[in-house]
Amino acid sequence: MAAEGHNVDANLVDMRPNHGHYFVKKTFGKPTYCHHCCDKIWGMLTTGYSCEMCNFICHEKCLRTVVSYCSSVALQLIKNPVAHTWSAPCLIKRKYCCVCRKRTDEAMSVECEVCEYYVHVDCSDLAVSDCKEAATYVANMESANAVQYHHMREGNLPKESKCVVCRKTCFSTECLAGMRCEWCGQTAHAVCYRQMDKECDFGVLRKIVLPPMCLTIPRTELPMEQLLNISSHDQPQSRKVSSPSKIQADDVSTTAEEIKERDDFEVIRVFDGNNSYRLQISRNIIVAKHVSVQQVRDAALRRFHINDTPERYYITQVVGEVEEEILEDPVPLRNVKRPEGKRAQIFIRYYDDPDKDEVKVYGGWLRKVPVTFCAISVSKDTIVQDLVTDALYHFGLDGALWNRYNLIEVSLDRGVAERTCNPQENVLQLVRNLRKDSLRRYHVVRFYVQEKEDPHDHAVFVGNLPVSLAQRQYERILLKLLGAKEKPFTAIGPIYFEYGSLIITFNTPKAATAAEKKLIVLCLPNVQPQMIPKDVEPLLVLVNVKSGGCQGTELIQSFRKLLNPFQVFDVLNGGPLVGLYVFRNIPKYKILACGGDGTIGWVLQCLDIAKQDAACFSPPCGIVPLGTGNDLARVLRWGGGYTGEENPMDILKDVIEADTVKLDRWAVVFHEEERNQPTSSGTQTEMSEQTMNNPEDQTSMIIMNNYFGIGIDADVCLKFHNKRDANPEKFQSRLFNKTQYAKIGLQKMFFERTCKDLFKRIELEVDGRTIELPNIEGIVVLNLLSWGSGANPWGTSKEEGNFSKPTHYDGLLEVVGISDVSRLGLIQSKLAAGIRIAQGGSIRITTHEEWPVQVDGEPHIQPPGTITILKSALKAQMLKKAKKSRRGGNASSLLNQAQDTTDPLSGPLGVPSTLGDPQHGKTTPDNTAADSDEEGDAFL
């Protein structure tokens, strides 16, 4: 605390009636900016005002026009608190702490993964639990009456933000200033934002945002991380004897130890209750030695951010393990007890009235409540039941129906924690115990009246079960895991047999919470589709955070901030089925899959399973390419790979503007050759019966979206996957992955020719016709004109000869031969093409020995038998990025435009191309992808 604040009471300006600030007049010895007007406080040794609680700084001329609330009273302004979801602690650059208003790169800090809230680790226990209200559905509410309001957050605005009211720049790099809506992103000055319309329309992303008023979340004791399907981080723990909003003397760089050594100041440890004393969690105040008891008390209250009438509190000192003594000396520090080698320890206490008190009760999510809260007088005989009855009358409801409601004690200390009060619990004793244990916690505890009837069906997703069991077997497993003899759940299903996953529905939140503690489950949000506007197609975002270079972590965090966090899912927690189940009742929506080609195939495969019970049979799917190859993403113009420099907002805008196209999908059926049968007829009969009873032992099927390979390319792919599985931590870079591919290819070229003479050792049929194979070591069957990270083995020549123009929706496959490893390297380097062999709608390959094969980049060793590729009845709709950006101005749109205007006989970017020998399909070095006005398959 500044020294002049103690010596001259006139310098302390109490702003509590308006915005809760405790301003003290202060001389600044270095350049400082006003947090109100953002102008510099000019001149050496210039005088301004600083809040002792939140460090808000302003000119003297701005003092009476301040509109920003102190962080000490911000909690009182929240109607429905929502806990933040903290990231792992780190040094965050170019941001300011929302509690102490200082730079976050000065100390370890955390950020909320859902909203733009940044805070030092030491400030986290003073953070305001005002995260985005992402689930606000109220039973029996009509969509026409549902209104979304702006959720304004102070400071940390994007660069070049403009005020929507005055159209002037409103961001600052020098201090925490300006206001921003967490939903629509509109920005404004602190003095202007109250002129904005109160209703929020979600801004440019309105068409894909899942509205909060259509969502409910289960009333459980689970933390927000589990409800949001976020990987848990260690929660930030504040230091026992420090906090960021430091009360310092003279200079902000003065430390507590330096002040302690001065003769005129002393550091005192303050406890706010019995619980904090038991845990030895205290805060320091730094006061002049000649201050009065009242000044010590006021400093202690401000240290704990207790914004209340000071006369209600008093100070005691610790004289033993359990003994206290009231400080009444006019100059208390003269005689205060100081344990040897320790600081003086004091308590801040409240004057309790043994006969009566006043309790605030909030309406919370009750429908049509005219006031946010009501203050009710209670006596020593008042019980919770009486308090609920009185509160209902104040809210204009029928108090006689008190038994339909619960009183919920909600603590906002370090997040949001709920407890249902017993109807016979004594209210006065409850309040007194809260104050005695911790005054800070008492001031952040609220009492809510809540309906017992929960509009949410308590559905939990259970994974990691054995696959392909009967429903009764799954029920027995669940009962054993839950330790129950009878079913504690009301329903089971749908069951995803292929993945060993299912949905269990409970009738009470208590049962769901108990199950969560015993099973690996996810409590799922519930969507009310009737509340979604007709012109809105919510976007389901599925992110594989470990795809490619593990770039998905930042991407998923950005999407949670831009959209409703309950529409963004990490597929590593439960897989794509979790998000698809949550969206099952929405009649029209889109999907954005963020990952490699394997992740996209996984999403489409899960969609095939889940869509049977879904309202939307075939939602279109967009792609953010996070993998190494990303061939499907290239064909659909989403680019060759996410670099981390792309703006997530632009990605979402591209999804809104994208066109819907069809994608052919193919069934690859592997049938193993029958094993050599023994001569014994009895044994033959037994084996035949076994084969008939277990046909899956001989036949398997994989759905193909991109391409199939057998021979040399599958062999290289298999070696790469084996190396990556052995050391996954090394394969986190696209460049490293591609160099490993090249290294394996060179080894195959000089030392291993395992696929030599493949053309003599397999048989190929296309549409029932036997095809004579040229001298090749590998075959690639293409559904897309992109393979191996953007290469085009088919070639870009416009003269197709006997072949029709290939597309990914023409019902045909292209069969290409690879002569050797060197040709494979040239194709992947985009310096050559393969050998065009055939084109057709049905492919059959017969082998008489083991061969490496791959489907969409997933390799394995296939025993002798037949491989049949047929068009699948499963359809897919994809989102194709618009050919010309309607926003304009980005490099990718210019590149697409340049490729789309090339001469038909020219390669990409106008480089002339020549037809090579059709037997070998030679093309120019710029042979990367086929592009035309009809297809528009330009690659970025």
Q: Pick 680 or 931 by higher pLDDT.
A: 680
Residue with tokens 């003290």: 24
Strands 590-595 and 621-625, by their bridges, are parallel
Q: Can you list the alpha helix ranges (DSSP code H) found in 637-680?
A: 648-657
Are the CB atoms for 397 and 366 separated by under 8 Å? Answer: yes
Q: How many CB atoms lie within 10 A of CB 65?
A: 12
Taking Cα atoms as reference points, which of 858, 628, 626 lies closest to residue 737? 628
Element (H, E) at 544: none
- Which pLDDT belongs to residue 540? 96
Are the CB atoms for 82 and 59 separated by under 8 Å? Answer: no
Least confident of 144-148, 295-299, 470-474: 144-148
Q: Pick 244 or 520 by higher pLDDT.
A: 520
- Which pLDDT belongs to residue 211? 94
- Judge whether residue 504 has pLDDT over 70: yes
- Which pLDDT belongs to residue 518? 64
- Which pLDDT belongs to residue 939? 28
Are the CB atoms for 156 and 176 separated by under 8 Å? Answer: yes
- Which pLDDT belongs to residue 568? 94
Angle between the N-to-C axes of helices 712-726 and 821-828, in degrees from 0 to 180, rounded to the nearest 10: 70
pLDDT in tens, 601-611: 999 999 998 88
Percentage of the chain modeled with pLDDT above 90? 30
Question: Which pairs from 508-516 meet CB under 8 Å and 24+ separation?
Answer: 508/458, 509/218, 509/219, 509/220, 509/454, 509/458, 511/458, 512/218, 512/220, 512/458, 512/460, 513/220, 513/221, 513/222, 514/482, 514/488, 515/460, 515/482, 515/488, 515/489, 516/220, 516/222, 516/226, 516/460
Question: Span 243-260, mean pLDDT?
Answer: 39
Q: Pick 413 or 275 by higher pLDDT.
A: 275
- Judge whether residue 589 has pLDDT over 60: yes
Confidence tier at 935 by pLDDT (50, 70, 90): very low
pLDDT in tens, 839-876: 999 999 999 899 999 998 888 999 999 999 999 888 89
- Which pLDDT belongs to residue 232? 56
Cα–Cα distance measured from residue 764 to residue 776, given in angstroms and rounded to the nearest whole number:
13
Question: Span 625-640, mean pLDDT?
Answer: 88
Residue with tokens 């929507």: 164
Q: Pick 71 or 743 by higher pLDDT.
A: 71
Are the CB atoms for 156 and 170 separated by under 8 Å? Answer: no
pLDDT in tens, 639-678: 888 888 889 999 999 999 999 999 999 999 999 877 654 4
Q: Can you list the alpha helix ranges (DSSP code H) found in 84-136?
A: none
To the nearest 10°, report the CA torsion of 726, 729, 731, 733: 180
Strands 707-711 and 762-766, by their bridges, are unpaired
- Judge whether residue 925 has pLDDT over 60: no
pLDDT in tens, 159-191: 889 999 999 999 888 899 899 999 999 999 988
Are the CB atoms for 149 and 165 separated by under 8 Å? Answer: no
- Which pLDDT belongs to residue 864? 92
- Which pLDDT belongs to residue 874? 84
Enumerate domains of the chain plus CATH numbers: 1-201 (no CATH), 265-350 (3.10.20.90), 356-451 (3.10.20.90), 458-524 (3.30.70.330), 529-657 (3.40.50.10330), 669-674+698-874 (2.60.200.40)
pLDDT in tens, 892-917: 433 343 333 333 323 332 333 322 33
Question: Span 578-602, mean pLDDT?
Answer: 92
Element (H, E) at 406: strand 405-411
- Which pLDDT belongs to residue 341? 67
Taking Cα atoms as reference points, which of 69, 50, 64, 65 lies closest to residue 12? 50
Question: Span 345-367, mean pLDDT?
Answer: 87
Q: Which residues share a beta bridge with 349?
A: 314
- Which pLDDT belongs to residue 654? 95
- Which pLDDT belongs to residue 928? 35
Q: Can you list the alpha helix ranges (DSSP code H) found in 204-325?
A: 224-227, 256-261, 274-278, 293-303
Least confident of 108-112, 206-210, 393-397: 393-397
pLDDT in tens, 505-530: 887 777 776 666 667 678 888 999 99
Question: Which pairs from 189-193 meet CB under 8 Å and 24+ separation?
Answer: 189/163, 189/165, 190/36, 190/67, 190/68, 190/154, 191/36, 191/65, 191/67, 192/163, 192/164, 192/165, 192/166, 193/152, 193/165
Per-chain mean pLDDT for the chain? 79
pLDDT in tens, 323-343: 778 877 777 777 777 777 678
pLDDT in tens, 750-792: 556 677 888 888 999 999 999 999 988 889 999 998 888 888 8
Percentage of the chain modeled with pLDDT above 70? 80
- Which pLDDT belongs to residue 221? 65
- Judge whether residue 934 has pLDDT over 60: no
pLDDT in tens, 68-97: 888 888 877 888 888 899 998 999 999 999
Cα–Cα distance measured from residue 532 to residue 538, given in angstroms and rounded to the nearest whole number:
9
